[in-house]
Amino acid sequence: MQIIIFKLKEKYYALQTDEVEEITKKIQPTSVPNAPAWVKGLINLRGYVVTLLDLALLLEIEESLCYNNIIIYNYKDEKIGLLVEDIIGVKNIEANMIRRVKKELDKGILGIVQTKDYIINLIDINMLLD
């Protein structure tokens, strides 16, 4: 399995690359009235309207962050943008490297992956958004 590793508030997180379409630099969103706090607005990405989400707020990380990148993710036939601080890279991992953490499952964390360089929280975006 391949994961994309990124940073939020001095911690490392990852998504499986199966549904990741691309990574782009931050684009200024157009705000959406009455949207939840974690919806930062809409962006126009080469003619596609993309909902931009604050991943830190979804993960209940309270501190404000300096976002530099957007991960474009395909979620139920819709493109969503996930704001992240920095992209670290892409890495291949084996499924047996994922250590399940029961108490984190309700927060959208599938488990922890430890590499020689990082301890990574593996996120299930579908679980977070459902």
Q: What is the pLDDT of residue 7?
A: 93
- Residue 13 contacts residue 108 (beta carbons within 8 Å): no
- Residue 40 contacts residue 127 (beta carbons within 8 Å): no
Q: What is the pLDDT of residue 105?
A: 56
> How far is 65 from 98, CA to CA, in rounded Å?
27
Q: What is the pLDDT of residue 129?
A: 82
Q: What is the pLDDT of residue 63?
A: 67
- Work out whether strand 119-123 and strand 109-114 pair parallel, antiparallel, or are unpaired: antiparallel
Listed by start position, the domains of the chain span 2-129
Helices (H), 1-124: 55-58
- The answer to pTM > 0.75 is yes
Question: CATH 3.90.1150.10: does it fit domain 2-129?
Answer: no
Q: What is the pLDDT of residue 106?
A: 59
User: Which residue ranges in the chain fall short of pLDDT 70?
Assistant: 63-64, 103-106
pLDDT tens digits, 102-128: 765 557 888 999 988 889 999 988 888
Which tokens is 41 given?
A: 């607005």
> How far is 88 from 4, CA to CA, in rounded Å?
8
Q: What is the pLDDT of residue 101?
A: 76
Q: What is the pLDDT of residue 58?
A: 87
Q: What is the pLDDT of residue 103?
A: 63
